[in-house]
Chains A and B, each alone.
Chain A
Amino acid sequence: MLNAAQNERLTQTSKGTPMGELLRRYWHPIAGSSELNEENPTKEIRLLAEDLVLFRTTKGGIGLIEPSCPHRKANLSYGVPEPDGIRCAYHGWVFDETGACLDQPSEPAGSRFKDKVKIKAYPVEELGGVVWAYLGPAPAPILPKWDILTWDNVERFIVSMELPCNWLQCMDNSLDPVHFEWLHNYWGSYVLGMEKPAEERAEWKERMQSENARGRHEVKVGFDRFEYGVIKRRLLEGDTEDNQWWRIGHPVLFPNTLRVGQNRNFSFQIRVPMDDTHTHHFVYRVQVPEEGVVLPPQGPVRVDFENVYKPDGRVRADWVLGQDQAAWIIQGPITDRTDEHLGATDVGIILYRKLINEQLKIMEDGGDPINVHRTDKGPIYLQQEHSYYPGYTETGGPFRDMPLHSPDVEMELAEKISADFA
């Protein structure tokens, strides 16, 4: 349970707020590269409570600028792309990706007026089919080359969703392995079962009452700090500690990214704060082919936009990610953490809040927080249990022989769970 000031400190996103400034020390994905092209040369962006316009010039350059033309404030997302920038729809002023005004075509010859107007512009980079933006103080850190962003011979796609809730609710969820049994296995089954016609539900109800109907029970959960954030581990009923679920686990990258996957699927779930009460859930998925298979070159990485609501106005929950998103949304626009009751199973959440508060302090003392990259180390591999990395025949890839050790924080859970599913 936090006080109101503590909750605000962790959740605010605007420039000048502690968390808003900490979030500005990181590169954030704002679009798929394929979203900006000749057909759609501009996109309106809201990031960290700032309204911006992303555009691509006809030469292929990319810019992220404040939205309103400084002349008479028309929105530049309606502008015309040109080789060197974007030309305002209203009176033709041209701006480049640094925010400089290059042309004011109707001002008198010899006018220096254009040198006096400049709009806010932020650095952008493209990597792995994603447009990344940096809104923090210069010098900008290096955009980290995470493994899955750089791999060749894989298939990528992006799923993009706008959520009416604060980003930290998503992160709480990623530090809380126990929700899997309830939100996904129990409630998820209920939601899917209720979508069947009433007369076809008997078999489903019976199955829900059987042993293991709520999936395998977690016996304990564990968390370790590491260079880029926190590693999450779980020991499932019937497994030994040598199992990759416990020995390897998978990471939460500070401050707002979950790495998750299994088998040949690898993904990032990036919870990009649009503002205090809205989050762009940017899901980046990579499929690794079977060993020896060479895929044809992919071309542009597809972006699918998913609505989080059903036509009846309730939150969609018929897929795993939809269930997570439903949980975050039904916690309210900003969860009232002054009135929550954290239990033994919430140790990961408490650890993460501690980590955030430490990084806020480091930043306020003038230092670089965790997971800010200043040297190019090339592709950075991240651990992901039970997964086939390119070039490895066993799961776990470069982490497959990671030794067993005790996590920094560990919690034993109830031995058995039950529920009276009706």
Chain B
Amino acid sequence: MLTQAQNDRITRVAPGTPMGNLMRRYWHPVAASVEVNEENPTKEVRLLGEDLVLFRSTRGVVGLIEPSCPHRKANLSYGVPEPEGIRCAYHGWLFDETGACIDQPSEPAGSKFKDKVKLKAYKTEELGGLIFAYMGPEPAPLLPNWDILTWTNVTRTINAVDMPANWLQCMDNSLDPVHFQWLHRYWGGWNIARKLPAGEGQDFDRSTLSRGREHVKVGFDRFEYGIVKRRLLEGETEEDQWWRIGHPILFPNILRVAQDHWHSFQYRIPIDDTHTKHMLYTVVVPEPGVTVAEQGFVPYVERELYDEKGRLNNTIVPAQDEAAWVMQGPITDRTTEHLGVTDVGIILFRKMINENLQIVEDGGEPINVHRDPAKNVAIPLATEHTYYPGDDFTGGQFADKPLLPPQVEASMQ
């Protein structure tokens, strides 16, 4: 349970807020690369409480600028893409990706007026089919080259949904392994069964209306980039990869989750205090020795949050998570919550957020900000029971990770 001030401090992301300042130390995906192309050269975006226009010039350069032309305030998302930038629809002022005004075609010859107007512009980079933006202080850190963003001979897909909920609810969920039994197995199973025809629904009930395997204990470790989450399931030993390896939460807003041949990031991108873009970035690794077709571009789809009746979708696992976050309210009222024994991971993450807020306020660099090019190469992340490229065993370079007790642990028995 937090005070209102504590809750505001860790949830709100507008410019100048403590969490807004901390969030601005990281690169965030702002769109899929395929979202801005010749057909749709611009996109209106909202990120960390700021309205912006993303555009791609006809030379392929991406820019992220404030939305209104400084001349007469027309929205630049209606502009015309040109080789050097985006030209305003109304009177043809031209802006490049740095926000500089490089043409005011109707002003008198010799006018210096264009040198006096400049738009806010943020750095962007493209990697793995995503466009990332950096909205923080200079010098910008390196865009982290996480393993799955850089692998070759894999198949990538991206999808996203915009949700009316604060980003931290998503992260609370990722530090809370126990919800799996309830939200996904029990509630999810109930919802799926209800949608089946009468007879089939009962059969489905028998197979799924259970909580799945019980969690015996959950554990959490701080590591270089965030927190590793581990769980011991009923009937398994501590040697099992679920407990010994686990999978990571990247500070401040990414879950890496994977199984078998697929790896994924779940990006919880703060649109503003009460809206979040949930972007799922999935990479499928082929069997060893198999070469998959070159993708050319990474496909992107937008998912629907609500069904045709206006209720939250709930029949696939990510939709169940999203439903939970949305139904916790625009910003969960943590002044009246009641955390139990199973919520130790959430408490650890809040502690980590508060430590890093303090570091930023003291002028330091928070966790998971990357500056060393030598280390920024296919940065490997550990995920349990998962095949890495070329391997016929799971766990990749982490397969032999020694069994160690977690820093924080809670027993469910």
Please tell me if the beta carbons of B58 and A343 are within 8 angstroms of each other in the complex.
Answer: no
**Which of B6-14, B101-109, B178-186, B357-365 contacts the other chain?**
B101-109
Q: B221 to chain A: closest CB distance in Å?
A: 46
> Of B68, B89, B107, which is within 8 A of A326 by CB?
B89
| B39: interface (CB < 8 Å) | yes
| B195: interface (CB < 8 Å) | no
Residue interface mask A327-351, B partner, CB < 8 A = 1: 1001110011101111111100000
> Of A314, A327, A412, A421, which is within 8 A of B80 by CB?
A421
| A187: interface (CB < 8 Å) | yes
Please tell me if the beta carbons of B91 and A179 are within 8 angstroms of each other in the complex.
Answer: yes
For B390, what are the chain A residues with a Cβ–Cβ distance below 8 Å? none
Q: B118 to chain A: closest CB distance in Å?
A: 10
For B79, what are the chain A residues with a Cβ–Cβ distance below 8 Å? 187
> Of B38, B58, B103, B111, which is within 8 A of A344 by CB?
B111
Please tell me if the beta carbons of A178 and B72 are within 8 angstroms of each other in the complex.
Answer: no
For B108, what are the chain A residues with a Cβ–Cβ distance below 8 Å? 344, 411-414
For B109, what are the chain A residues with a Cβ–Cβ distance below 8 Å? 414-415
For A181, what are the chain B residues with a Cβ–Cβ distance below 8 Å? 92, 106
Residue interface mask A113-136, B partner, CB < 8 A = 1: 000000000000000000000000
Please tell me if the beta carbons of A327 and B106 are within 8 angstroms of each other in the complex.
Answer: no
| B311: interface (CB < 8 Å) | no
Q: A38 to chain B: closest CB distance in Å?
A: 40
Residues of A197-250 whose CB lies within 8 A of B? 198, 218
Q: How far is the CA of A183 from the CA of B74 in the complex (A)?
A: 11
Please tell me if the beta carbons of B70 and A339 are within 8 angstroms of each other in the complex.
Answer: yes
| B71: interface (CB < 8 Å) | yes
For B83, what are the chain A residues with a Cβ–Cβ distance below 8 Å? 420, 422
Q: A177 to chain B: closest CB distance in Å?
A: 10
A-B contact count (CB 8 A): 122
| A190: interface (CB < 8 Å) | yes
Count of chain A residues near B, Cβ 8 A: 44
| A111: interface (CB < 8 Å) | no
For B292, what are the chain A residues with a Cβ–Cβ distance below 8 Å? none
Please tell me if the beta carbons of A198 and B106 are within 8 angstroms of each other in the complex.
Answer: no
Q: How far is the CA of A317 from the CA of B81 in the complex (A)?
A: 17
Please tell me if the beta carbons of B75 and A330 are within 8 angstroms of each other in the complex.
Answer: yes
Given the contacts A331-B72, A332-B68, A419 and B87 also touching, CB distance less than 8 Å: yes
For A314, what are the chain B residues with a Cβ–Cβ distance below 8 Å? 78
| B117: interface (CB < 8 Å) | yes
Please tell me if the beta carbons of B71 and A417 are within 8 angstroms of each other in the complex.
Answer: no
For A182, what are the chain B residues with a Cβ–Cβ distance below 8 Å? 88-92, 105-106
For A413, what are the chain B residues with a Cβ–Cβ distance below 8 Å? 106-108
Residue interface mask A349-390, B partner, CB < 8 A = 1: 000000000000000000000000000000000000000000
Please tell me if the beta carbons of B78 and A326 are within 8 angstroms of each other in the complex.
Answer: yes
| B306: interface (CB < 8 Å) | no
Please tell me if the beta carbons of B58 and A419 are within 8 angstroms of each other in the complex.
Answer: no
Residues of B89-130 whose CB lies within 8 A of A? 89-92, 94, 103-109, 111, 113, 116-117
Q: How far is the CA of A323 from the CA of B88 in the complex (A)?
A: 13
Q: B84 to chain A: closest CB distance in Å?
A: 7
For A345, what are the chain B residues with a Cβ–Cβ distance below 8 Å? 91, 106-107
Please tell me if the beta carbons of B92 and A419 are within 8 angstroms of each other in the complex.
Answer: yes
| A172: interface (CB < 8 Å) | yes
Residues of A89-107 whose CB lies within 8 A of B? none
Q: A6 to chain B: closest CB distance in Å?
A: 15
Residues of B341-378 whose CB lies within 8 A of A? none
| A157: interface (CB < 8 Å) | no
Q: How far is the CA of A419 from the CA of B87 in the complex (A)?
A: 9
> Of B39, B89, B90, B103, which is within 8 A of A198 by CB?
B39
| CB closest chain-B residue, reference A220 | B108
Count of chain B residues near A, Cβ 8 A: 36
Which of B38, B90, B111 has the largest count of A CB atoms less than 10 A from its CB? B90
Q: B228 to chain A: closest CB distance in Å?
A: 43
Q: How far is the CA of A229 from the CA of B101 in the complex (A)?
A: 34
Q: B68 to chain A: closest CB distance in Å?
A: 7
| B73: interface (CB < 8 Å) | yes
Residue interface mask A169-200, B partner, CB < 8 A = 1: 00010001011011100110010001000100
Residue interface mask B52-71, A partner, CB < 8 A = 1: 00000010000000001011
| B82: interface (CB < 8 Å) | yes
| CB closest chain-B residue, reference A411 | B108
Please tell me if the beta carbons of B78 and A315 are within 8 angstroms of each other in the complex.
Answer: yes
Please tell me if the beta carbons of A327 and B73 are within 8 angstroms of each other in the complex.
Answer: no
For A343, what are the chain B residues with a Cβ–Cβ distance below 8 Å? 71, 104, 106-107, 111, 113
> Of B58, B78, B81, which is within 8 A of A330 by CB?
B78
For B78, what are the chain A residues with a Cβ–Cβ distance below 8 Å? 187, 314-315, 317, 326, 330
Please tell me if the beta carbons of A178 and B106 are within 8 angstroms of each other in the complex.
Answer: yes
Given the contacts A172-B72, A335-B72, A335-B73, A422 and B90 also touching, CB distance less than 8 Å: no
For B94, what are the chain A residues with a Cβ–Cβ distance below 8 Å? 419
For A344, what are the chain B residues with a Cβ–Cβ distance below 8 Å? 107-108, 111, 113
Q: B111 to chain A: closest CB distance in Å?
A: 7
Q: How far is the CA of A340 from the CA of B91 in the complex (A)?
A: 13
Given the contacts A417-B105, A422-B81, A331 and B89 also touching, CB distance less than 8 Å: no
Please tell me if the beta carbons of B106 and A417 are within 8 angstroms of each other in the complex.
Answer: yes
Please tell me if the beta carbons of B106 and A341 are within 8 angstroms of each other in the complex.
Answer: no
Please tell me if the beta carbons of A419 and B82 are within 8 angstroms of each other in the complex.
Answer: yes
Which of B58, B104, B105, B117 has the largest count of A CB atoms less than 10 A from its CB? B105
Please tell me if the beta carbons of A198 and B117 are within 8 angstroms of each other in the complex.
Answer: no
Please tell me if the beta carbons of A179 and B90 are within 8 angstroms of each other in the complex.
Answer: yes
Given the contacts A186-B80, A190-B80, A315-B78, A341 and B71 also touching, CB distance less than 8 Å: yes
For B39, what are the chain A residues with a Cβ–Cβ distance below 8 Å? 194, 198
Q: A314 to chain B: closest CB distance in Å?
A: 8
Residue interface mask B35-52, A partner, CB < 8 A = 1: 000110000000000000
Residue interface mask A298-337, B partner, CB < 8 A = 1: 0000000000000000110100000100110011100111
For A218, what are the chain B residues with a Cβ–Cβ distance below 8 Å? 106
> Of A186, A331, A411, A422, which is within 8 A of B74 by CB?
A331
Q: How far is the CA of A327 from the CA of B94 in the complex (A)?
A: 16
Which of A336, A414, A420 has the largest count of B CB atoms less than 10 A from its CB? A420
Q: A198 to chain B: closest CB distance in Å?
A: 7
Please tell me if the beta carbons of A414 and B68 are within 8 angstroms of each other in the complex.
Answer: no
Given the contacts A345-B107, A412-B108, A417-B105, A340 and B71 also touching, CB distance less than 8 Å: yes
Please tell me if the beta carbons of B82 and A422 are within 8 angstroms of each other in the complex.
Answer: yes
Q: How far is the CA of A323 from the CA of B84 in the complex (A)?
A: 24
Q: B77 to chain A: closest CB distance in Å?
A: 8
Please tell me if the beta carbons of A422 and B91 are within 8 angstroms of each other in the complex.
Answer: no
Please tell me if the beta carbons of A341 and B117 are within 8 angstroms of each other in the complex.
Answer: yes
Residues of A67-90 whose CB lies within 8 A of B? none
For A346, what are the chain B residues with a Cβ–Cβ distance below 8 Å? 72
Q: B45 to chain A: closest CB distance in Å?
A: 15
Q: How far is the CA of A411 from the CA of B213 in the complex (A)?
A: 79
**Closest 3 interchain pairs by CB?**
A422-B58, A330-B75, A182-B92
24 inter-chain pairs at a CB distance below 8 angstroms, sorted by A residue, are A179-B90, A181-B92, A182-B92, A182-B105, A186-B92, A187-B89, A194-B39, A218-B106, A315-B78, A327-B74, A330-B74, A330-B89, A331-B90, A339-B68, A341-B71, A343-B104, A344-B111, A344-B113, A345-B107, A413-B107, A414-B105, A420-B58, A421-B82, A422-B82
| Known A198-B39, A345-B107; 9 more pairs at CB < 8 Å | A183-B91, A186-B87, A187-B78, A330-B74, A339-B70, A342-B72, A419-B103, A419-B105, A422-B82
